[in-house]
Amino acid sequence: MTSHFLVLMLFAFFVSVVFAVLLRDTPREQVRTGALMLGGFVAAAFVLGWLMYPFPL
Amino acid sequence: MSTKSTTAARAAAEPTTLALVCLLAWLLPGAGHLWQGRRHKGLVFLVAIPLMFVIGLLLHGRLFPLEMAEPLVFLGAIADRGTGAAYFIARFLDAGAGTVTAVSYEYGNTFLMTAGLLNFLVVLDAFDIAMGRK
């Protein structure tokens, strides 16, 4: 498995699920919080990726 | 929270029970919640955390040894051990040697350590429930 994006999505998914279930008590709130966190993770990855784009390795 | 569950949580706040809840929650992610009747939460942790650990192994991550001379390795080793029984099973099966040359090596390490750290949070949550705080 070498797709960086797939690994990123998997990581964000699992962390979001665990945090959402830890922090919220009702399934509705858990789904909402988990989706927000997942979106935040992915958005942050894209923003940071573009910000780092000009820098050489 | 219902009166019944509040009573149960307060009754569980004895030192022996607390220690058992924490030990069980550490050994088997989600078991502390399942034992205290939080079936939904317990099942999610029981699936998500070990699965994350297995993905970490599949990504060629390394289970770090407890080396005091290398502080970062030591902290990584503590995080790895957070998954409880899964860690010991992996060591028993000689998994988690890590392939430094694999492109996914660092991803694997991240999955392994994060699974352990998340389980530490789950243990703390189980402790709070047993103390009657939740």
- pLDDT, one tens digit per residue, over B112-131 is 999 999 999 999 999 999 99
Share of chain B above pLDDT 90, in %: 80
Q: How crowded is the C-beta side of B21, counted as CA atoms within 13 Å?
A: 28
Q: Any bridge partners for residue B97, and if so which? A: B62
- For residue B99, give its domain range: 3-130
Q: Domain ranges for chain A, please list them.
A: 4-52
What pTM was estimated for this model as a whole?
0.88
Question: How much is the pLDDT for A56?
Answer: 79
- pLDDT, one tens digit per residue, over B50-87 is 999 999 999 999 999 998 899 999 999 999 999 999 99
End-to-end CA, chain B? 8
pLDDT band at B12 (very low <50, low <70, confident <90, very high): low
pLDDT band at B100 (very low <50, low <70, confident <90, very high): very high
Asked if A18 and B118 come within 8 Å (Cβ–Cβ), the reply is yes
From the list B44, B107, B111, the residue facing A21 with the nearest CB is B44
Question: How much is the pLDDT for B133?
Answer: 86
C-alpha distances out from residue A42 to A10, A38, A45, Å:
11, 6, 5
Site from B54, B83, B107 to mutate, A interface, most A CB atoms within 10 angstroms: B107
Is residue B11 predicted with pLDDT exceeding 70? no
Number of domains composing chain B: 1
